[in-house]
């Protein structure tokens, strides 16, 4: 474990379920008996060849995350695990509409997860957590328009309980990014800030589009490297990329680690934050991501520390909270 404060700004709740909690719950509720097969159903393997295969690994976690009790327990377990891993700060994201298949409302989902966060944080040694609510692309924009709009209003309503931003996640490219402009204009009207998944399974034009919507951060941005104009825009607007290298290999956004543009981004002055995306599905954590960056991609410890400081500066925490976090980051203390 590296001896400095870690920060993760791009971490999906459903893709990062603590495996022991998930297995216990699956035995109890689904009557499963084969742990190996269970883990295989949730983790990327040689049969995963695209973002769509990758997204299928969410089926099991989402099956388990449909009741208030399970949502509560799973979020609590995840936050305690992140604290144990030595994180100082995490922005955990989830899409409330993915948890309403057994009758909960989006509001109930957000409410119970805020409760779980507040209870878990009382048991943490140093971790601080805020939430990002995801809107979803599951096909044409109109399929999820109403649910996405409801998510925006909830993000506004729960700002005082640590919901700090919104996002657009799901199957990038299944619908044109432009179709989501109206929702982001609504978000802006409500005073919400946002990051947007863009340029992961689709070209750099989606990043350009997300920037034109006013995104303050970009999730992935893997394809930015293909377009000099987009690279310049990212630099000029100082919009950081939330980079998740293992996830990008697993969803085949890049062929392998060596083909990942993260080092070029760093060298060319694009702001980057190192993130995990989906710890369980990709069987990873920040320490594993850092090791790969150090061993395969030419990063130094100083680069990683600078990335984490950058992540705190780019976080959606309030100014006051951000200053406290930065002080803790530099001094090693937190209260």
Contacts to Zn ion by CB under 5 A: 277
Q: Which tokens belong to 132?
A: 């990002």
CA distances from 38 to 17, 26, 59, 74 (A): 13, 8, 12, 17
Q: Kindly report the CA angle at 161 between 156 and 165, in degrees rounded to 5?
A: 45
Of all helices (H) and strands (E), which one includes residue 91?
strand 87-94
Residue 35 beta carbon to Zn ion: minimum distance, rounded to whole angstroms: 27
Can 200 be counted among the known catalytic residues? yes
Instruction: Please identify, using beta-carbon distances, which residue of 15 and 261 lies nearer to Zn ion.
Output: 15
Residue nearest to Zn ion (CB): 277
Residue 219 beta carbon to Zn ion: minimum distance, rounded to whole angstroms: 5
* Distance (Å, whole) CA 306 – CA 223: 23
Instruction: Please identify, using beta-carbon distances, which residue of 58 and 329 lies nearer to Zn ion.
Output: 58
Instruction: Please identify, using beta-carbon distances, which residue of 9 and 22 lies nearer to Zn ion.
Output: 9
- Cα 209 from chain centre: 20
Instruction: Please identify, using beta-carbon distances, which residue of 81 and 277 lies nearer to Zn ion.
Output: 277
* Distance (Å, whole) CA 110 – CA 103: 14
- Kindly provide the b/e burial profile for residues 176-201, where b requires at least 16 CB atoms within 10 angstroms of the residue's own CB: ebeebeebbeebeeeebbbbbbbbbb
Instruction: Please identify, using beta-carbon distances, which residue of 25 and 314 lies nearer to Zn ion.
Output: 314
Instruction: Please identify, using beta-carbon distances, which residue of 8 and 277 lies nearer to Zn ion.
Output: 277
Phi, psi of 295 (to 5 degrees): -85, -35
Residue 279 beta carbon to Zn ion: minimum distance, rounded to whole angstroms: 12
* Distance (Å, whole) CA 224 – CA 199: 7
Residue 253 beta carbon to Zn ion: minimum distance, rounded to whole angstroms: 11
Q: Which tokens belong to 248?
A: 């990008």
CB 148 within 8 A of CB 134: no
Instruction: Please identify, using beta-carbon distances, which residue of 141 and 277 lies nearer to Zn ion.
Output: 277
CB 262 within 8 A of CB 249: no
Select which of 200, 208, 242, 289 is catalytic: 200
DSSP string, 135-189: EEESSSHHHHHHHHHHHHHHHHHTGGGTEEEEEEEE-TTSS-GGGGHHHHHHHHH
Exposed/middle/buried for residue 48 (C-beta within 10 Å: 0-12, 13-18, 19+): buried
Residue 170 beta carbon to Zn ion: minimum distance, rounded to whole angstroms: 9
Residue 235 beta carbon to Zn ion: minimum distance, rounded to whole angstroms: 23
CB 198 within 8 A of CB 172: yes
Q: Which residues are catalytic?
A: 200
């Amino acid at each position: 474990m590296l001896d400095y404060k870690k920060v993760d700004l791009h971490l999906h709740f459903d893709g990062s379920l603590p495996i022991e909690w998930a297995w216990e719950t699956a035995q109890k509720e689904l009557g499963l008996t084969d742990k190996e097969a269970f883990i295989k159903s949730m983790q990327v393997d040689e049969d995963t060849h695209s973002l769509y295969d990758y997204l299928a690994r969410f089926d099991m976690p989402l099956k388990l995350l449909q009741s208030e009790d399970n949502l509560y327990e799973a979020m609590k377990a995840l936050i305690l695990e992140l604290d144990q891993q030595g994180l100082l700060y995490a922005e955990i994201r989830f899409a409330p509409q993915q948890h309403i298949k057994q009758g909960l409302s989006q509001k109930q989902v957000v409410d119970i997860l805020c409760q779980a966060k507040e209870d878990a944080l009382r048991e943490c040694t140093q971790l601080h957590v805020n939430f990002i609510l995801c809107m979803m692309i599951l096909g044409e924009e109109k399929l999820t328009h109403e649910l996405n709009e409801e998510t925006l209003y909830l993000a506004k309503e729960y700002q005082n309980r640590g919901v700090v931003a919104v996002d657009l996640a799901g199957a990038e490219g299944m619908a044109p990014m432009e179709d989501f402009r109206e929702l982001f204009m609504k978000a802006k009207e409500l005073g919400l800030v946002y990051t947007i998944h863009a340029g992961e399974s689709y070209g750099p034009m989606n990043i350009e589009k997300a920037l034109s919507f006013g995104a303050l951060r970009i999730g992935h941005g893997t394809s930015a490297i293909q377009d000099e104009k987009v690279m310049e825009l990212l630099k000029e607007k100082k919009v950081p990329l939330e980079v998740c290298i293992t996830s990008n290999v697993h969803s085949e956004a890049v062929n392998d680690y060596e083909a990942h543009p993260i080092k070029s981004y760093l060298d060319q002055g694009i702001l980057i934050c190192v993130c995990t995306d989906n710890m369980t599905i990709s069987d990873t954590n920040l320490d594993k991501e850092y090791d790969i960056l150090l061993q395969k991609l030419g990063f130094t410890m100083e680069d990683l520390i600078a990335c984490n400081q950058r992540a705190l500066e780019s976080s959606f925490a309030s100014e006051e909270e951000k200053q406290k976090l930065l002080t803790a980051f530099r001094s090693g203390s937190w209260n």
